[in-house]
Amino acid sequence: MGRITLLHTEASNGWGGQEIRILREMMGMRERNHRVLLVTTPWTAIHERATSCGIPTFSLPMGAPHFIQAVVRLVVIIRRHRVSLVNTHSSRDSWIGAIAGKLTGVKVLRSRHISSKLNTSPLTKALYRHLCHGIVTTGQFIRNQIVEELGVKPDRVFSVPTGIDVERFRGGNPRDVRRELGIPEEHAVVGIASVLRSWKGHLELLESFRGVVDTRPAVTLVIVGEGPRRRVIERKTAQLGLQGNVILTGHRDDMERIIQLFDIAVLSSYASEGIPQFVLQAMAAGKAVVGTRVGGIPEAIEDGVTGLLVPPRDPAAIRDAIVFLLDHTDKRHLMGQAGYERALAEHTTSLMLDRMESVYYALGVQ
């Protein structure tokens, strides 16, 4: 397709899978000769990172007191930069972007990244049905939510799973990271990487891990990420007597190194998941994954093939899955290889960008 100007909006001040995908999309589309712009609230992680990548970025207060001003300023940006499509990502910026799009005659694409409970009020239905020209979701589960709960026509809702740089997560020497973190050579390593939020299920994972350590003490749980639940997780670790078997690394920008250390990857979420980037990264690295049957996780993990699926908030089931994979090295390796092949076939950055360009084409964006 011809060169278009894409304006992304993001009101979130966090840095997680959603923001990482937005930045990856923008950089990928720029490499395909499209022009990309970003509007965010002030002083956010994505603003800083996008600016450092050379993406033109605008700060716009989006709270309720600034709503009208935000719409007016966004209209100015859209007209001044001859924007072809506004792609919104969170609730506040979606309202601002949708109204600005209506006022300027520019099409609006709403991206929905998570599978949390939808607001089904008449206003929300109006936003999705009438103010947005299309909806992109990160998985089929979320697409079904939009169609069934908000009544959006199916031909206007597109599932475009997140893509990753698969080869980035291949190879590497885990010994360096093992030494850095002080993990004994004889220990197997179970790992999780996510923002430390309640619904990521870290507390349930810790309860399950207590049972793992009781029968297989030579194992370490590595928790990668930062967030508001860190203190709670630290207290739970101490209450369970797991200080010698659990390491919290904080945020890491070198996931391709950290993930090589893991023998088993785990994602214990009990809500709000699309297709998580950590699951795809682990698959790309050839790791068997234990995941919960939540949101889009089962779309990435094929039970018994690329990993094991367990019910959410079930520490005993998580424990049993981890123990099974620790005890069955051959099956673990076969699942890891199958995960790599699936990531390569279905979840590359290139494929994600192809699918997004197809959405633009379907919306008639020029």
Per-residue model confidence as pLDDT tens digits over 48-93 = 999 999 999 999 999 999 999 999 999 999 999 999 999 999 999 9
pLDDT at 210: 98
Do 65 and 106 have their domain in common? yes
Domain that holds residue 326: 166-346
Do 151 and 197 have their domain in common? no
Looking at residue 64, what DSSP letter applies? Answer: G
The answer to whether 194 and 16 are in contact (CB under 8 A) is yes
Q: Who contacts 238 (Cβ-Cβ below 8 Å, separation ≥6)? A: none
Helix (H, G, I), strand (E, B) or coil at 279: helix
pLDDT at 1 over 80: no
pLDDT at 231 over 90: yes
pLDDT in tens, 34-55: 999 999 999 999 999 999 999 9
> In whole numbers, what is the pLDDT of the chain averaged over residues?
97
pLDDT at 159 over 90: yes
pLDDT in tens, 200-215: 999 999 999 999 999 9
Do 15 and 153 have their domain in common? yes
State whether the Cα torsion 45-49-50-54 is positive or negative. positive
Do 88 and 179 have their domain in common? no
Q: Who contacts 162 (Cβ-Cβ below 8 Å, separation ≥6)? A: 17, 21, 138, 274, 275, 277, 280, 347, 352
Reported residue count of the chain is 366
Using the structure block, give the residue that is written with the tokens 């370490």. Answer: 220
Query: Looking at the 3D structure of the chain, how many domains does it have?
Result: 2
Do 341 and 353 have their domain in common? no
Residue 182: which region, alpha, beta or left (left: phi > 0; alpha: psi -120 to 50)?
left
The answer to whether 292 and 201 are in contact (CB under 8 A) is yes
Alpha helices in the chain, H assignment, sequence order:
17-31, 45-52, 67-80, 91-104, 122-126, 140-150, 174-181, 202-215, 230-239, 255-258, 277-284, 297-300, 315-327, 329-346, 349-362
Q: Which helix (DSSP H) or strand (DSSP E) does residue 265 occupy?
A: strand 264-267
Do 128 and 200 have their domain in common? no
pLDDT at 2 over 90: no
pLDDT at 23: 97
Do 82 and 189 have their domain in common? no
Among the listed residues 66, 77, 134, 124, the one whose alpha carbon sits nearest the alpha carbon of residue 100: 77
pLDDT in tens, 270-307: 998 999 999 999 999 999 999 999 999 999 999 999 99
Residue 82: which region, alpha, beta or left (left: phi > 0; alpha: psi -120 to 50)?
left
pLDDT at 19: 96
Query: Which tokens is 361 given?
Result: 């084409």
Query: Which tokens is 66 given?
Result: 């600034």
Do 36 and 149 have their domain in common? yes
Looking at residue 226, what DSSP letter applies? Answer: -
The answer to whether 178 and 185 are in contact (CB under 8 A) is yes
pLDDT at 226: 96
Do 144 and 59 have their domain in common? yes
Residue 81: which region, alpha, beta or left (left: phi > 0; alpha: psi -120 to 50)?
alpha
State whether the Cα torsion 299-304-306-310 is positive or negative. positive
Q: What is the pTM of this model?
A: 0.93
Between CA 360 and CA 84 the distance in angstroms is: 10
* 142 band by pLDDT with thresholds 50, 70 and 90: very high
Between CA 97 and CA 51 the distance in angstroms is: 21
Do 55 and 89 have their domain in common? yes
- The DSSP secondary structure of 176-204, one letter per residue, reads HHHHHHT--TT-EEEEEES---GGG-HHH
Do 329 and 358 have their domain in common? no
Percent of the chain clearing pLDDT 70 (strictly above): 100
List, in sequence order, every residue forming a beta bridge with 193; answer none if it has no partner. 224
Instruction: Tell me the one-letter amino acid at 32.
Output: R
| CATH classification of the domain holding 91 | 3.40.50.2000
Query: Which tokens is 194 given?
Result: 């996510």
Do 222 and 149 have their domain in common? no
- Cα radius of gyration rounded to whole Å, the chain: 21
pLDDT at 171: 81
